[in-house]
Structure 1
Amino acid sequence: MRLTSFTDYGLRMLMRLASAPDRAFSTAELAQEFQLSRNHLTKIMQKLGKAGLVQTRRGGGGGATLACAPEEIRLGDVVSLLEEGQALVECFQPGGGDCTIEGCCRLKGRLRVAKMAFVENLNRSTLADVALSAPEPA
């Protein structure tokens, strides 16, 4: 299974926020650290904010922080949130894509089970388990 860059950077941002829970990170700072456009980072941050994982404050001293403890954030739930709308294979898309073996395919069910197992396995870990522990950049 391949995760989108949206999910990859979303997980990285959460890990970074968890590494310094008493600090607010600006969008510009995170964009520079991850070498990512501020626009893309903002979209990810908005999705995380709407889900209640991140809170943001504007103005001086503002920035992004975790909205809850890292121990409460399950990795599988984050992946499911950020991968929402991304079909694992074409036939999982709304409308089913252009599959010519729809009526006799035995792969689709197995792929669904595998995807569920992937998320369940990730949900055995929390953000606290993978949070960055490196010292702050100078």
Structure 2
Amino acid sequence: MRLTLHTDYALRTLIYLAIKNERLASIKEIARIYSISENHLVKVIHRLGKAKFIQTHRGHKGGIKLNYPAEQINIGDVIRFTEEDLAIVACMQSDEASPACLLEGACVLKRSMQEAQSAFLNVFDKLYLSDIATPLESARINAAEKALALEVE
């Protein structure tokens, strides 16, 4: 099972915001810390804002911040929202565009795939943003910020 870059960037953004929760953060600083394209991050921020995971503030002194305490943001919820399609195989997709499978209704493999998908998501359902925005992650971000500040000088 594999998560998209969109979800990866969303999780990194949320971790950053949890660590820097005392102030508004900018897309530019998050993109710089994680070496992410600002254009791509704008799309991620937009989706996180639509889902109400974050607040966005426009203007000269604008920025973004978490909409809820990190203890209330479930990682499983973030993944379900940011992933377009969690189906492991095509027959698990819920759209009518998928061709019907000849084994439908008798397929043990599909049930096994559904179990695997459920187990995968259950791991993330037990995690909250506060569990992954750790002091070690904070130290890494602070070190990266210091290193980037030296590059600018």
Whether contact under 8 Å (1:77, 1:119) holds in the other structure is: no
On the 8 A contact 2:31/2:41 being kept in 1, the answer is yes
Q: Answer whether contact 1:90 1:96 (CA < 8 A) is retained.
A: no
Matches within 5 A, 1:19-98: 19-93=19-93, 94-95=95-96, 97-98=98-99
Distance in 1, matches of 2:44 and 2:33, equals 15
Larger helix percent? 2
Q: Which has the larger radius of gyration?
A: 2
Query: How many angstroms apart in 2 are the aligned matches of 1:86 and 1:43?
Result: 20
Aligned residues: 138
Q: 2:113 aligns to what SS in structure 1?
A: helix
Percent identity over the alignment?
39
Any conservation in 1 of the 2:73–2:128 contact (CA below 8 Å)?
yes
CA shift, 1:27, in A, is 1.3
Tell me how far apart the structure 2 counterparts of residues 97 and 85 of structure 1 sit (CA, whole Å).
13
Amino acid at match of 2:33: E
Contact 1:15 1:130 in 2 (8 A): yes
Map of 1:133 onto structure 2:
138
Counterpart check, 1:122 vs 2:124: yes
Point out where structure 2 has 5 or more consecutive residues left out of the alignment: 147-153
Query: 1:41 aligns to what SS in structure 2?
Result: helix
Q: CA deviation at 1:100?
A: 5.1
TM-superposed deviation, 1:99: 6.5
For 1:47 and 1:28, the matched residues in 2 are separated by 17
RMSD: 1.9
Range moving further from structure 2, 24-33 or 86-95 = 86-95
CA contact (8 A) 1:57 1:64 kept: yes
* Contact preservation (8 Å) 2:91, 2:101: no
* 1:42 Cα deviation from its structure 2 partner: 1.0
Kept in 1: contact 2:55–2:65 (CA 8 A): yes
Separation of aligned partners in 2, 1:117 and 1:57: 37
TM-score between the two structures when normalised by the length of structure 2: 0.80
The letter of the residue matching 2:138 is S
**Partner AA of 1:60 in structure 2:** H
| Whole-angstrom CA distance in 2 between matches of 1:98 and 1:29 | 45
The equivalent of 1:102 in structure 2 is 103
Q: Do the aligned partners of 2:70 and 2:130 also contact (CA within 8 Å) in 1?
A: yes
* Aligned twin of 2:151: none
